[in-house]
Amino acid sequence: MTKVNNFWVPKIDSFKIWVNQSDLEIIDNTIIENLYVVDSLGEIVDEIEGKSKNIDYVDGRAFKFWRRRHNDINTKITTEYIGIIINAKHLKERYFEGITLNNLDIIVNEINAQNIIKIKKEALLSSSIGDLDICVDFDASTDAFSKLIKRQYPMVQQSSRDTFSSEQKATHLGLYLNSRHNCYPSKPFFKFYHKTIELETKSNDFANKFLKNLDFQNIGRCEVNLKNTKHLNHYKIKARQLGDILTRVDFVPVLQKAYKNWFIQRNVVIDRKDCWKMIIIKTYWRWFAEENLMIFRQAQTETENRNQKKKMMDCYNEINNQKDARLQEIERVELVERIEKFFRGDKRTYDVRTGVTESSTKQK
């Protein structure tokens, strides 16, 4: 079984594309035929241009085709396009690669296999793109990722226009900032979510069919949506055609800028809550080679008081639990450090434990 390990590499997860109708062959005419809406008397009251063609597979893959007409107010020329939603799931077993120039042939073959249109790779590369989702995967256990979400939530810089929410469930673990329909260039739809959990629940059918030979455990994902031309301009992306998007755009600055717009900056620190008595016991514990449990058992023989015996074992268990919690806290901090290093470069940031509250992150 191959372990997924292409971490911290920005990639394209999905997009909408508009292909000039003259550059492809229409097979299913229902996407271009005019649909007439009639009233009870049989009179035509409205005309709808083509209806979208949706194809949903039980394995989780989905395809959508529709017709779009564009009227140029300067040239008075009307151009007709076919819109297509393209998703990394169309790559099937190569899903985790993201959509690239090297695997675009798979996308073309998958589109043509639906028998709606026939298109060549060259036509796809020269087509206009929009609603672009870019993402980056990283290694993260569910426990560390859960702590990451709890840390990031109060760091969100929220204005009156923004919405954000988090999910902390066994079947859904994520942080969602704005939405695909409620966003703007400086605050795009931005989300952290645990990819492994998503593939084992919501996308289970897809994973079982196409990813059964991949080890995709402990993977987190950050995803940003660039909805339209205004978003592309804001992030200084001049490319508009798919071919240029795939070959000329560096998405690292895009992800970094979106992250900095969404989150305040803090120092990363490890939480320390030990009382002085516990520190002494832990220090003593490290100095002696004897089995730690035996030390506590011996201490129990020094008293007949059942309550004191119980407190001694409670102390032993507390130290063990704190040790586990300490390791989890270190794992959480290490994940935060990797996140911050990617999104902010070498700059240190501030951790949630500095006392910054949600109200202090509100923007006017």
Three-state SS letters, 46-73? EEEECCCEEEECCCCCEEEEEEEEEECC
Residue 293 in any domain: the answer is yes
Residues 290 and 243 in one domain: no
Q: Could you give the CA distance from residue 327 to residue 323 in angstroms, rounded to a whole number?
A: 6
Residues 253 and 287 in one domain: no
Among 262, 292, 314, residue at a domain's last position: 262
Look at residue 36 in the predicted model and tell me its pLDDT: 55
Q: Which residue(s) pair with 194 in the sheet?
A: 220
Residue 128 in any domain: the answer is yes
Lowest mean pLDDT segment, chosen from 20-34, 133-147, 249-263, 295-309: 295-309
Residues 313 and 258 in one domain: no
Residues 90 and 11 in one domain: yes
Average pLDDT of the residues in 14-37: 84
Residue 268 in any domain: the answer is no
Model pLDDT for residues 316-355, shown as the tens digit of each residue = 777 666 544 555 556 667 787 888 888 887 554 444 333 3
| 233 within 8 A of 185, measured Cβ to Cβ | yes
Q: How confident is the model at residue 292 (pLDDT cuts 50, 70, 90)?
A: low
Q: Could you give the CA distance from residue 60 to residue 106 in angstroms, rounded to a whole number?
A: 17
Range of the domain at 70: 2-34+48-262
Residue 364 in any domain: the answer is no
Look at residue 364 in the predicted model and tell me its pLDDT: 46
Residues 151 and 247 in one domain: yes
Strand 44-49 to strand 53-56: parallel, antiparallel, or no bridges (unpaired)? unpaired
Residue 267 in any domain: the answer is no
Residues 179 and 220 in one domain: yes
Among 262, 291, 322, residue at a domain's last position: 262
Average pLDDT of the residues in 188-207: 96
Residue 359 in any domain: the answer is no
Look at residue 79 in the predicted model and tell me its pLDDT: 83
Please tell me the pTM assigned to this model: 0.76
Look at residue 158 in the predicted model and tell me its pLDDT: 87
Residues 70 and 135 in one domain: yes
Q: Which residue(s) pair with 176 in the sheet?
A: 165, 191
Q: Could you give the CA distance from residue 355 to residue 334 in angstroms, rounded to a whole number?
A: 20
Residues 292 and 249 in one domain: no
Across the chain, mean pLDDT equals 83
Within 8 A by CB and 6+ apart from 356, the residues are: 154, 155, 264, 266, 350
As for how many domains the chain has, the answer is 2
Residues 156 and 185 in one domain: yes
Q: Which spans in the chain are helix H?
A: 104-112, 121-125, 142-152, 195-200, 204-210, 229-234, 242-248, 252-262, 276-287, 292-300, 306-344
Among 239, 262, 285, residue at a domain's last position: 262
Q: Could you give the CA distance from residue 159 to residue 154 in angstroms, rounded to a whole number?
A: 13
Write out the two tokens for 278: 């516990």
Q: How confident is the model at residue 74 (pLDDT cuts 50, 70, 90)?
A: confident
Within 8 A by CB and 6+ apart from 319, the residues are: 278, 281, 282, 285
Average pLDDT of the residues in 295-310: 77
Model pLDDT for residues 28-50, shown as the tens digit of each residue = 888 877 655 555 565 656 666 66
Residues 232 and 141 in one domain: yes
Average pLDDT of the residues in 265-284: 59
